[in-house]
Amino acid sequence: MTKNYKVQAKPYEFEFDIDTTAFMIIDMQRDFLYPGGFGEKLGNDVSATNSIIPNVKKVLDAAREKNMLIIHTREGHRPDLSDVPESKAKRGGGIGEEGPMGRILVRGEYGHDIVDELQPKENEVVLDKPGKGAFYQTDLESILRNKNIKSLIVSGVTTHVCVQTTIREANDRGYECLMLEDCCAAFDKRDHEDSIRMINQQGGIFGWTTPSENLLDELN
């Protein structure tokens, strides 16, 4: 069985060994994808973020088929809000307030959880994070080291905030990151497109980007 893959990408082919690569799904939570959650409360239209669910699901199915390590992240806070920095609390979004999907961005609430279509399976990692980056105040680095992971294939929302922050943090730690363009979204298309350019510019300053079709062509 082939373990090494080469995927057409920008700025050039992305090569990875499937046994040392994890598929990450960043913050595909109801709070960012449906009306009444954190994303909308911040003043955004959530139609772009929820439109990528089917694209992410296709890659998730392929990653499961290949027994890849799958990591789901969720941005959120303790019910007593003791881990919310004042600087974050005062900038809106209604963290901790009651909304139609429960208390906004609070762990254990319906809105904080991952959408039905992408619900994690028992053997998959679910990582709760208080910030935008997936490494900050989490055990992600330890999990990746223990599982001998060298490369990350990254999807989720929002492209310019949690996805980009995580890719930048991963890049500095020596991980090679492939961002799946149509499996990520920002509330504003310009932020999404600018992020793609920021990642793959200067010879892949933070990583590689590609439409998911190129990855699926190789995996399937």
The residues binding ligand TIU (CB under 6 A) are 27, 32, 42, 75, 132, 157-158, 161-162
Distances (CA, A) of 7 to 107, 116, 209, 217: 36, 29, 10, 9
Q: How far is the CB of 186 from ligand TIU (least distance, A)?
A: 6
Token match 């999990």: residue? 143
Nearer to ligand TIU, 158 or 200 (CB): 158
Nearer to ligand TIU, 16 or 38 (CB): 38
Q: How far is the CB of 90 from ligand TIU (least distance, A)?
A: 14
Strands (E), the chain: 4-7, 14-17, 21-26, 69-75, 98-99, 102-103, 125-129, 151-157, 176-185, 208-210
The pair of three-digit structure tokens given for residue 21, joined into one six-digit string: 């690569």
Q: How far is the CB of 42 from ligand TIU (least distance, A)?
A: 5
Q: How far is the CB of 217 from ligand TIU (least distance, A)?
A: 28
Nearer to ligand TIU, 106 or 161 (CB): 161
Nearer to ligand TIU, 75 or 169 (CB): 75
Q: How far is the CB of 134 from ligand TIU (least distance, A)?
A: 10
Does residue 63 sit in helix, strand or coil? helix
Q: State the catalytic residues.
A: 27, 129, 162
Give the pairing of strands 102-103 and 98-99: antiparallel
Distance CA 159, CA 167 (A): 10
* 67 DSSP assignment: T
Nearer to ligand TIU, 5 or 110 (CB): 110
DSSP bridge partners of 152: 22, 177
Query: Of 133, 140, 108, 113, nearest to 206 (Cα)?
Result: 133
The pair of three-digit structure tokens given for residue 49, joined into one six-digit string: 């973020």
Give the containing element (helix H, strand E) for 215. helix 212-219
